[in-house]
Amino acid sequence: MFNEQPATKNTFRHYRVLGKGGFGEVCACQVRATGKMYACKKLEKKRIKKRKGESMALNEKQILEKVNSRFVVSLAYAYETKDALCLVLTLMNGGDLKFHIYNMGNPGFDEKRAIFYAAEICCGLEDLHKERIVYRDLKPENILLDDHGHIRISDLGLAMQIPEGERIRGRVGTIGYMAPEVINNERYSFSPDWWGLGCLLYEMIRGQSPFRKRKEKVKREEVDRRVKEDREDYSEKFSEETRSICSMLLAKETKGRLGCQGGGAAEVKQHPIFRHINFKRLEANMLDPPFVPDPRAVYCKDVLDIEQFSTVKGVNLDPTDDDFYSKFVTGSVSIPWQNEMIDTECFKEVNTYGNDGTLSPDLDNKKPEPPPKRGMWYRLCRREMCFKSSFSDEDDDSPRML
């Protein structure tokens, strides 16, 4: 079948750099045959090998492949070039929540907007937990907005699938957002994600994280101590209900934490703060977001401000790496590929062959691609797009208008 053919760099046109990931750049790309735009996350092979990141990279790819949720970024293709392994993901043009919290006027959101995002994040966590995946890195940088103002959870590099009936241990995450049980290296299942939701909701309303002020110079040990011992402080920005749900999600003991008492996402959804959210309609994409990104604005760094990666030296690739690459490079992912065909209305063409039984020219990636018209090239390069990773630097600039 056509969707089972391998993808190569010739399957795509590549455009400007959007940001940085842990192992390489993220750029915009377009599928030649359909015109669909995506974000391409490049994992440099030598950088992966130098940092012994093979298992982490493969884990992220396999977890993305498992998840089909409108609240989590989707993996559409996985392919390789001579120098990099590439994940082709949902393109999110609206920037990340960190940018919106801190660079769009006064820090923080109004309560209605914060609750809407919390509801969508709750649905994303529910979809991950149904696959027995714990996310473990919930923070504003990892929540991205699309053109319409809906959010998706991104960057699943620290996510892990938990075997049925088991609990895991691992001190991973981001300082100030890790749950007490993670810091203490105790066994857990999905409890760190509900703690993370509490941290994120608090930050959306207060305009700062609960245990560390923005840009505060403080040692990691002190932040960890605050997480384990201190109670978060609530300002006048919190209503009685938002204070209630934050304090329940930020319970130090998992047995008293909302979401950890047997009901998972269902018990979080039942909190009175969500009484105006119809979750069935939300999951069906039938609710309008409270904020819609301006298509003329750029909610990210200028391309010239994105720091370039240094050259990796002293690392050689050899045939022993091929087994890892073969597990990673699996071409297109079925459901996102089918959605692409529907969205771009190309489903009629995918089975179109010439009189001699060959593929039509626009679907044959072995034929040289004619240069795009200046109008298309200009529009695609002129329009800045955002796909920020959790490794980006803090940025205080306001969105620029084109």
Same domain as 117, residue 19 = no
Same domain as 152, residue 263 = yes
Same domain as 273, residue 191 = yes
Work out how many domains the chain is built from and give that number: 2
Query: Residue 103 to residues 17, 82, 96, 109, 395: CA-CA distances in angstroms?
Result: 21, 39, 11, 11, 8
User: For residue 77, what is the domain's CATH number?
Assistant: 3.30.200.20
Same domain as 220, residue 151 = yes
Domain span including residue 331: 2-92+301-401
Same domain as 235, residue 136 = yes
| 98 lies in some domain | no
321 is catalytic: no
Each residue's pLDDT expressed in tens, for the chain with a length of 402 residues:
555 667 888 999 998 887 777 777 888 899 998 899 999 999 888 888 888 888 888 999 999 999 999 999 999 999 999 889 999 999 998 989 999 999 888 999 999 999 999 999 999 999 999 999 999 999 999 999 999 999 999 999 899 999 998 999 999 999 999 999 999 999 999 999 999 999 999 999 999 999 988 888 899 999 999 999 999 999 999 999 999 999 999 999 999 999 999 999 999 999 999 999 999 999 999 999 999 998 877 776 555 445 555 566 667 677 877 888 888 888 888 888 788 888 887 766 655 555 565 665 655 666 665 555 444 444 444 444 443 333 344 444 445 444
Same domain as 363, residue 266 = no
82 contact partners, CB below 8 Å, separation of at least 6: none
CA-closest candidate to residue 167, choices 140, 199, 190: 190
H helix or E strand, kind and range, residue 247: helix 240-249
CA-closest candidate to residue 121, choices 196, 63, 210: 196
Angle between the N-to-C axes of helices 111-130 and 240-249, in degrees from 0 to 180, rounded to the nearest 10: 30
| 149 lies in some domain | yes
| 100 lies in some domain | no
| 389 lies in some domain | yes
For residues 359 and 306, what is the distance between their CA atoms, to the nearest angstrom? Answer: 40
| 39 lies in some domain | yes
Structure tokens at 392: 């980006």
Burial class (CB in 10 A: 0-12, 13-18, 19+), 178: buried
**Is 143:96 a contact under the CB 8 Å cutoff?**
yes
* Termini Cα distance of the chain: 42
Same domain as 193, residue 51 = no
| 99 lies in some domain | no
Same domain as 345, residue 264 = no
Place of tokens 């749950």: 179
Backbone angle region of 214, left / alpha / beta, with phi > 0 → left and psi within -120 to 50 → alpha = beta
**Is 87:43 a contact under the CB 8 Å cutoff?**
yes
109-149 confidence digits (pLDDT tens): 999 999 999 999 999 999 999 999 999 999 999 999 999 99
Phi, psi (degrees; rounded to nearest 5) at 244: -60, -50
Backbone angle region of 119, left / alpha / beta, with phi > 0 → left and psi within -120 to 50 → alpha = alpha
Structure tokens at 152: 């998706």
pTM: 0.82
283-325 confidence digits (pLDDT tens): 999 999 999 998 877 776 555 445 555 566 667 677 877 888 8
Residues of the chain above pLDDT 90, percent: 55
**Is 387:92 a contact under the CB 8 Å cutoff?**
yes
Selecting among 137, 146, 155, 193, the annotated active-site residue is: 137
Task: Single out the residue in 243, 260, 292 at which a domain terminates.
Answer: 292
Task: Single out the residue in 244, 260, 292 at which a domain terminates.
Answer: 292
**Is 363:349 a contact under the CB 8 Å cutoff?**
yes
Task: Single out the residue in 292, 320, 345 at which a domain terminates.
Answer: 292
Name the residue type at position 227.
Answer: V
Angle value at C-alpha 96, between 92 and 97, nearest 5 degrees: 135
Same domain as 278, residue 190 = yes
For residues 18 and 385, what is the distance between their CA atoms, to the nearest angstrom? Answer: 6
User: For residue 288, what is the domain's CATH number?
Assistant: 1.10.510.10
Phi, psi (degrees; rounded to nearest 5) at 41: -95, 110
**Is 368:59 a contact under the CB 8 Å cutoff?**
no
Angle between the N-to-C axes of helices 111-130 and 191-206, in degrees from 0 to 180, rounded to the nearest 10: 160
Structure tokens at 362: 């626009």
For residues 13 and 9, what is the distance between their CA atoms, to the nearest angstrom? Answer: 8
